[in-house]
């Protein structure tokens, strides 16, 4: 993850992977706790004037969002502290697939832990140390070693969902919303201007097994257009361009979510009678691709027409 100084904004560039095997691992680690780990010295969350923008490549996929829900033991109960990162269950889980476990923990720590802090784990057999860097600080209580309160559970869930994509390309997004303490996730006017496309809302609670949900906020794609954010954008008919279970598409965010007074993000979303704290995302103009722009994008395919899924001008005829 590359961090750059940029006022108060939180801009996250996503290297997206398939909604695949990572989701089972995500819920497994949350239910099972963690092995030998160390904390960096506790540092205070920067003030609003000091918070850095975050740009990162990532490849979070989705199977980790769908395995049994997050039970309140291990990490869920003890938090992202030494006590929470010290169970035999997590050691066994991590050693079974260190590459997968490392990626899951990278996103959990990025969403939950403040910038300037890290969490580390040393593999007991190889001696290899894995370090995960905090960024958004959406769960300070959980990051401090206690069970996550409900709002922190919901914000971590929304943050993880916002980081998922079905393609392996880098996409810059802006994350907006309110933290558990009611304060806005910091942003700047430059960030909003650079990311003018309102994209999606995300909410849910993986800790309690209530699921994870996404909706659209007005960026509708024509037949010629596409986006690497395929799970989050819809076409001009209002239909989701790509289904990405276990993320459940609810349609228009405004049907379930109430705008904050700023008009930039939603204060709450109510789905099936349950209220959630959501996060919304915004895109740059250049991350909406169009058949005919001279580049065969990862979201386009060969064919005979000028459509994203049959783009002769950019991808040629199929052979």
Cβ count near 127 (within 10 Å): 7
CA 269, CA 177: separation in Å to the nearest integer? 12
Higher pLDDT, 128 or 90: 128
In this structure, is the dihedral angle defined by the CA atoms of residues 106, 55, 184 and 17, taken in order, positive or negative? negative
What's the average model confidence in pLDDT over 278-301? 94
Q: Is 301 exposed, middle or buried (0-12, 13-18, 19+ CB in 10 A)?
A: middle
**Checking phi first, is residue 308 left (phi over 0); if not, alpha (psi -120 to 50) or beta?**
alpha
The pLDDT-based confidence of 60 (bands split at 50, 70, 90) is: low
Question: What tens digit of pLDDT does each residue of 11-23 get?
Answer: 655 444 434 444 4
Examine the pLDDT at 305 and tell me if it is beyond 90: yes
What pLDDT was estimated at residue 168?
Answer: 64
CA 249, CA 230: separation in Å to the nearest integer? 12
CA 3, CA 225: separation in Å to the nearest integer? 31
If residue 281 lies in a helix (H) or strand (E), which one and from where to where?
strand 279-283
What pLDDT was estimated at residue 235?
Answer: 81
- Helix 22-32 vs helix 98-112: angle between axes, to the nearest 10 degrees? 70
Higher pLDDT, 80 or 75: 80
Task: List the structure tokens of 117.
Answer: 């802090």
What DSSP character marks residue 305? B
Query: Quick one: how far is CA 265 from the chain centroid?
Result: 16
Helix residue ranges, H only, the chain: 22-32, 75-78, 88-96, 98-112, 140-143, 150-162, 189-194, 312-315
Backbone angles phi, psi at 97, to 5 degrees: -155, 80
Cβ count near 306 (within 10 Å): 15
The pLDDT-based confidence of 64 (bands split at 50, 70, 90) is: very low
* Cβ atoms of 280 and 266 closer than 8 Å: yes
Give the residue among 140, 9, 157, 148 at the shortest CA–CA distance from 69.
Answer: 157
The pLDDT-based confidence of 89 (bands split at 50, 70, 90) is: low
Task: List the structure tokens of 68.
Answer: 């049994």
What pLDDT was estimated at residue 296?
Answer: 96
Q: Is 144 exposed, middle or buried (0-12, 13-18, 19+ CB in 10 A)?
A: middle
Please give the model's pTM, rounded to 2 decimal places: 0.81
CA 106, CA 103: separation in Å to the nearest integer? 5
Examine the pLDDT at 39 and tell me if it is beyond 50: no
Task: List the structure tokens of 107.
Answer: 């996103």
Question: What tens digit of pLDDT does each residue of 231-266 get?
Answer: 877 887 777 788 888 889 999 999 999 999 999 999
């Amino acid at each position: 993850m590359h961090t750059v100084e940029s006022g108060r904004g939180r801009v996250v560039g996503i290297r997206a992977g398939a909604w695949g095997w990572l989701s089972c691992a995500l819920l497994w680690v949350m239910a099972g706790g963690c092995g030998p780990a160390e904390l960096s010295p506790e540092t205070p969350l920067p003030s609003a004037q000091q918070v850095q923008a975050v740009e990162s490549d990532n490849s979070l996929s989705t199977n980790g969002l769908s395995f049994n829900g997050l039970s309140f033991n291990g990490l869920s109960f003890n938090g992202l502290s030494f006590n929470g990162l010290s169970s035999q269950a997590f050691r066994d889980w991590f050693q079974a697939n260190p590459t997968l476990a490392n990626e899951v923990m990278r996103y959990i720590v990025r969403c939950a832990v403040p910038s300037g802090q890290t969490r580390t784990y040393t593999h007991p057999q190889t001696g290899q140390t894995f370090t995960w860097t905090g960024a958004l600080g959406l769960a300070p209580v959980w990051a401090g070693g206690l069970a996550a309160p409900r709002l922190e559970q919901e914000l971590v869930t929304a943050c993880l969902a916002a980081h998922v994509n079905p393609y392996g390309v880098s996409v810059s997004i802006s994350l907006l919303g309110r933290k558990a303490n009611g304060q806005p996730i910091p942003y700047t006017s430059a960030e909003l201007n650079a990311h003018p496309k309102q994209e999606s809302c995300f909410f849910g609670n993986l800790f309690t097994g209530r699921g994870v949900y996404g909706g659209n906020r007005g960026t509708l794609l024509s037949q010629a257009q596409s986006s690497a954010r395929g799970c989050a954008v819809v076409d001009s008919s209002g239909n989701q361009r790509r289904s990405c279970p276990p993320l459940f598409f609810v349609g228009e965010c405004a049907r379930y979510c109430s705008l904050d007074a700023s008009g930039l993000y939603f204060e709450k979303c109510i789905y099936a009678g349950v209220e959630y704290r959501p996060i919304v995302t915004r895109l740059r103009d250049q991350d909406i691709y169009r058949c005919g722009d001279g580049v065969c994008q990862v979201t386009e395919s060969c064919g005979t027409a000028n459509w994203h899924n049959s783009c002769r001008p950019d991808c040629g005829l199929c052979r």
